[in-house]
Amino acid sequence: MKVLFIMHPLIGHFHAMVPLAQALVDHGHDVAFATGERFGPIVKRVGFDHFPCGWDSLGVRNIFTELPGWPPVAVREAPPGIQQLWAFIQAYAPGMVDDLINLMQVWKPDVIVRDPAEFGSYITAELFDLPYASIDWAIYISTYGCTEPLNALRRRYGLPDDQDFDSFDRYLVLNGLPPSWQIMGDVPPVTHRFRMPPFDQSVAQELPPWVDTLPDQPTVYATLGTTFNQKLDLFQALIAALGTEAFNTIITVGKHIDPAQFHPLPPQVKIEQYIPQTLILPYCDAFIFHGGYNSLLSALWHGLPMVVMPLEAGDQQPTAQQCADLGVGVSVEESTPQPETIRSAIKTVLDQSTYRQRAQQLQREFEDLPPLSEAVLRLETLAKNREPQPNAQFHTP
pLDDT digits (tens, 9 = 90+) for 167-188: 999 999 999 999 999 876 668 9
Q: What is the CATH number of the domain that holds 145?
A: 3.40.50.2000
Q: What is the pLDDT of residue 397?
A: 45
The reply to whether 49 and 178 lie within a common domain is yes
The reply to whether 234 and 155 lie within a common domain is no
For residue 172, what are the β-bridge partners? Answer: 133
The reply to whether 154 and 64 lie within a common domain is yes
Q: What is the pLDDT of residue 69?
A: 62
The reply to whether 167 and 228 lie within a common domain is no
pLDDT digits (tens, 9 = 90+) for 131-159: 999 999 998 988 888 899 999 999 999 99
Q: Is the pLDDT of residue 72 over 80?
A: no
Give the span between the Cα atoms of 201 and 204, in whole angstroms: 5
> Do the domain assignments include residue 334?
yes
Q: Is the pLDDT of residue 336 over 60?
A: yes
> Do the domain assignments include residue 229?
yes
H or E element at residue 248 = strand 248-252
**Residue-wise DSSP of 39-108:** GHHHHHHHT-EEEE-SS---S-S-GGGTSTTHHHHHTSSS-HHHHHHHHIIIIIHHHHHHHHHHHHTTS-
The band of 20, judged by pLDDT with boundaries at 50, 70 and 90, is very high
Domain count, the chain: 2
Give the span between the Cα atoms of 16 and 222, in whole angstroms: 20
Q: What is the pLDDT of residue 53?
A: 97
SS3 content of the chain, % helix, strand, coil (to 5): 40, 15, 45
The reply to whether 288 and 373 lie within a common domain is no
The reply to whether 94 and 225 lie within a common domain is no
Closest listed residue to residue 134, CA positions, set 344, 382, 327, 348: 382
> Do the domain assignments include residue 85?
yes
Residues above pLDDT 90, as percent of the chain = 68
CB half-sphere exposure, 192, CA atoms < 13 A: 21
Q: What is the pLDDT of residue 386?
A: 96
In this structure, the dihedral spanned by the alpha carbons of residues 127, 130, 131 and 134, taken in order and rounded to 10 degrees, is: -60
For residue 222, what are the β-bridge partners? Answer: 251, 288
> Do the domain assignments include residue 396?
no
> Do the domain assignments include residue 201?
no
The reply to whether 119 and 261 lie within a common domain is no
SS3 assignment, position 345: helix
Task: Yes or no: say if 8 and 63 are a contact pair by the CB < 8 Å rule.
Answer: yes
**What residues make up the domain containing 238?**
209-366
The reply to whether 318 and 362 lie within a common domain is yes
The reply to whether 225 and 116 lie within a common domain is no
The reply to whether 143 and 222 lie within a common domain is no
> Do the domain assignments include residue 395?
no
Give the span between the Cα atoms of 235 and 64, in whole angstroms: 21
> Do the domain assignments include residue 44?
yes
Q: How far apart are the first and last CA of the chain?
A: 35
Question: Over the chain, what is the mean pLDDT?
Answer: 90
Q: What is the pLDDT of residue 58?
A: 66
**Residue-wise DSSP of 23-38:** HHHHTT-EEEEEE-GG
Helices and strands, number each (H, E), in the chain: 14, 13
The reply to whether 189 and 226 lie within a common domain is no
> Do the domain assignments include residue 202?
no
The reply to whether 362 and 377 lie within a common domain is no
